[in-house]
Amino acid sequence: MEHKVQKSLIWIRNFAYIANFIIWYVVRSKYPEDEMNVDISFVIFFISIPIVHFILSKICYLALSAPKSKRLKDEKIYNQVLLEIESNDYRKGLLAKALSEAKGNEEKSRAIYIKLRYQSIKDEGK
């Protein structure tokens, strides 16, 4: 995952340079040299590079780290369900629904119960 983040950040940095060149070009074409000091246009150009890079980097980092955090939450929920099953701490209503959906098959009902309990824990967390 870290490799993907680093590779994405390199692409973002390159994109930031290109985007800032375009911004600088648009600003320069909108304000001719006689109306705008050349030094100001370079300041705008060099200040906007880190700003655009920072914004795009944060977007990339959040986009790449979101699936990881979801998987970790899912793993914790499944762990909780398994601990409840091992300690015979079933939710009777969910167990009845699982048995009903499995038409009395105990093995299928256990898998259905896990799915139902997982969803109920997610719903309680909202």
- Alpha-carbon span 49 to 58, nearest angstrom: 14
Sorted by sequence, the CB contacts under 8 Å of residue 91 that are 6+ apart come out as 117, 120
Contact 9, 60 (CB under 8 A): yes
Question: In the chain, what are the domain boundaries?
Answer: 2-69
- Alpha-carbon span 107 to 117, nearest angstrom: 16
Entry pTM:
0.49
Amino acid symbol at 2: E
Does residue 5 have a pLDDT over 70? no
Average pLDDT for residues 58-66, to the nearest whole number? 70
Average pLDDT for residues 60-75, to the nearest whole number? 74
Say which residue, 65 or 126, is predicted with more confidence: 65
- Alpha-carbon span 81 to 77, nearest angstrom: 6
What confidence tier does 15 reach under pLDDT thresholds 50, 70, 90?
Answer: confident
Does residue 97 have a pLDDT over 90? yes
Amino acid symbol at 37: N
pLDDT of residue 124: 86
pLDDT of residue 115: 93
pLDDT of residue 42: 67
Show the tokens assigned to 66.
């979101």
Sorted by sequence, the CB contacts under 8 Å of residue 109 that are 6+ apart come out as 95, 98, 99, 101, 102
pLDDT of residue 40: 67
